[in-house]
């Protein structure tokens, strides 16, 4: 039983909306592939501010959210579905100002340290987020954006859920950064979003997906409910990451030498530890699923840095257990490097075209598995710059959405380095924690 008590719920509309025209935004293959996923759920933890009381915090966040939505009107809209005779549907976003959900809650039995000082993320953290057990396709009737502000006994947590069909992780943090900027008193955004959708063909018609409206409004359409897992945050300092990068590159010969990035070395270090802790057979296949961003890759036509929408696709690396564990850090890192290099502009365009012709909806059931790690988010996102007017956050955590065995969420560290939020079985996480080869590079948990 949760000790989180909801005080109030309200609907936040776009501030000063004077137009009755409901703009329709067509969705791209990059957007539509996430219809069966959960919303993005990320939240920020803050200490109480002695000069700012909870009522003032709630009022400021509501007011600034309304103002911010005027720059992101689709987040106050809903999904719209047009059904066709062949059991397919076309999905778009209607900017009708139906509003975002705002929840005010209290969990005064818990403290900031209950979250940041626990070796494993406490279960109650998932209750600090809205839109739990909601799939993106339910955005027909559910809000595309929801916020839950929960008072703790010495701090508060701002949990945000955004429909993944509307935007990716880059878009999520762009919105959060913008909201914080408005909350601090700005009337304009330093990085206004580019809302126009990116299409290869400007005359492209609405894409049909193999899903009826009836199925879209059924919660849990694919019937997949992941088994509960444990979560732990691992922090790696800048110096430790540099050591891993140097080690990985030193193990590589030929023209690929010195091409391994810091993140590729760190992800491989994690991958090898997870696989080594699972007791798999040497000939078993293990996979690493990476999310590839299109903003830096697409040049003609280009995808703007401030593009608000999805611009990602998935690349998968496969290796035998024996190859990964006996080949050294460099071998696995080189395989990650190769898959990243293969995702050129032309490959991403080819995927885009192919998806439009033959839509394939991603599912967590199909993406994950006991032998697969799935990485999302990026250390480049500005997480700790989200000062709403009472100081920077203490920590970041994610909700239950899209969590399966092997989910890895990557964040920049609060001071330096990188944090991994790792979702695995308790037994695997315990084995990793008792592995000196892995924990030697581990700096501290938040």
Q: Which residue has the tokens 């990320």?
A: 42
CA distance 285 to 306: 38
Which of 13, 63, 222, 387 is catalytic? The answer is 387
Angle of the 238-250 helix axis to the 328-342 helix axis, nearest 10: 90
Per DSSP, the three-state class of 342 is: helix
Phi, psi for 92 (deg, rounded to 5): -140, 175
Q: Which residue has the tokens 């709403």?
A: 388
Residue 337's nearest CA partner among 256, 414, 391, 255 is 256
CA distance 412 to 415: 8
Which of 104, 137, 164, 269 is catalytic? The answer is 164
Active site residue 164: yes
Residue 423 pairs in a beta bridge with 231, 407
Residue 41's nearest CA partner among 176, 235, 138, 178 is 176
> What tokens appear for 148 in the block?
């839950």
- Alpha helices by DSSP H, listed for 213-320, are 213-216, 238-250, 262-277
> What are the Cα distances from residue 265, in Å, to 70, 234, 237, 270, 316?
41, 15, 13, 9, 16
Secondary structure element (H or E) that encloses residue 40, with its range = strand 40-47
Active site residue 13: no
| Active centre residues (catalytic) | 164, 387
């Amino acid at each position: 039983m949760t000790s989180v008590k909801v005080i109030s719920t309200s609907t936040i509309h776009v501030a000063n909306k004077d137009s009755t025209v409901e703009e329709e935004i067509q969705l791209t293959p990059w957007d539509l592939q996430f219809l069966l996923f959960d919303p993005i759920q990320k939240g920020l933890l803050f200490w109480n501010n002695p000069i700012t009381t909870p009522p003032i915090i709630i009022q400021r966040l509501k007011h600034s959210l309304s103002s911010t939505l005027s720059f992101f009107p689709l987040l106050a809209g809903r999904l719209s579905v047009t059904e066709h005779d062949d059991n397919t549907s076309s999905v778009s976003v209607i900017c009708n100002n139906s509003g975002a959900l705002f929840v005010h809650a209290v969990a005064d039995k818990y403290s900031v340290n209950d979250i940041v000082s626990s070796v494993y993320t406490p279960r109650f953290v998932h209750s600090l987020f809205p839109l739990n057990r909601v799939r993106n396709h339910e955005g027909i009737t559910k809000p595309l954006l929801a916020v839950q502000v929960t008072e703790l006994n010495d701090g508060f947590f701002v949990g945000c859920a955004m429909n993944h069909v509307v935007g990716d992780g880059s878009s999520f943090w762009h919105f959060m950064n913008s909201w914080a900027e408005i909350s601090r008193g700005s009337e304009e955004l330093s990085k206004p979003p580019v809302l126009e959708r990116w299409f290869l063909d400007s005359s492209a018609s609405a894409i049909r997906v193999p899903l009826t409206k009836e199925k879209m409004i059924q919660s849990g359409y694919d019937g997949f409910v992941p088994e509960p897992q444990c979560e732990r945050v691992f922090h790696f300092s800048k110096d430790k990451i540099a050591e891993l990068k140097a080690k990985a590159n030193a193990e590589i010969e030929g023209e690929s030498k010195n091409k391994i990035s810091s993140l590729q070395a760190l992800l491989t270090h994690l991958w090898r530890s997870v696989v080594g802790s699972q007791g798999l057979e040497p000939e078993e296949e293990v996979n690493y699923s990476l999310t590839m961003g299109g903003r830096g890759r697409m040049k003609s036509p280009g995808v703007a840095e401030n593009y608000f929408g999805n611009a990602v696709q998935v690349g998968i690396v496969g290796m035998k257990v024996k190859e990964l564990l006996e080949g050294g850090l460099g071998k696995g890192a080189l395989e990650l490097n190769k898959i990243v290099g293969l995702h050129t502009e032309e490959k991403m365009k080819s995927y885009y075209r192919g998806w439009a012709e033959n839509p394939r909806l991603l599912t967590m059931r199909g993406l994950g598995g006991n032998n697969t790690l799935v990485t999302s988010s990026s250390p480049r996102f500005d997480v700790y710059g989200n000062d709403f007017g009472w100081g920077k956050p203490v920590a970041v955590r994610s909700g239950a959405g899209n969590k399966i065995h092997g989910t890895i969420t990557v964040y920049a560290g609060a001071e330096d380095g990188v944090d991994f939020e790792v979702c695995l079985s308790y037994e695997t996480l315990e084995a990793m924690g008792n592995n000196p080869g892995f924990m030697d590079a581990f700096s501290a948990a938040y």
